[in-house]
Amino acid sequence: MSRTPGRKQENHKISRELLVLTYGALVAQLCKDYEKDEDVNTCLDRMGYGIGVRLIDDFLARSAVKKCRSYSETAEMIAQVAFKMYLGVTPSVTCSSTAGNEFSLILDKNPLVDFVEELPAERASLCYCNLLCGVIRGALEMVHLAAEVTFLQDRLKGDAVTEIGITFLRKAEDRKHKRN
């Protein structure tokens, strides 16, 4: 049997919409379960971390990427390959430090908020997409790159863009191992 050429793209779109709707229901349930936004944010980060730990194997197998030699290559790989592969968007990357260990991923479009208009006033400190930070952090830790990942700006909170900050916690030279 032959497949229609456009079928794969259609299935991808349906899967993404299902993910977005399911994610919205998950966040809504967590908001009911936890009174404090900080607890919801922590829970989303922890869940994302678990996903990232498992997702890195799939990413490495499906993308066939080469080993990144610098933090800037790693940030570009996250933006241009991983985000495109799993969310269908490509954020832009900016380096925000002279040391070269802090980067920002700027999302013009965040698919996780496709069906969200705004956060309720009583949930002002909720980081709705905090799952993404956990996913990135978990995946990076599995390739031995400790990082702090946080939302710096969020359109749901009235900012002009959605910006995720990634700070690699070790210096680049700390990653190199001497072989005897």
Contacts 24+ apart (CB under 8 A), 63-70: 70/100, 70/172
Among 9, 17, 31, 15, CA closest to 113:
17
List beta partners, residue 151: 164
pLDDT tens for 68-84 read 999 999 999 999 999 99
The whole-model pTM stands at: 0.85
**Is the confidence at residue 12, as pLDDT, over 80?**
no
Average pLDDT over the chain reads 87
pLDDT tens for 90-137 read 999 999 888 889 999 999 988 899 888 888 888 989 999 999 999 999
Of 41-45, 72-76, 116-120, 141-145, the least confident = 116-120
DSSP E strands, 25-117: 92-95, 102-107
CATH topology of domain 37-168: Muramoyl-pentapeptide Carboxypeptidase; domain 2 (3.30.1380)
Q: CA quadruple 166, 147, 131, 86: dihedral positive or negative?
A: positive
* Domain regions of the chain by residue span: 37-168
What single DSSP character describes residue 83? I
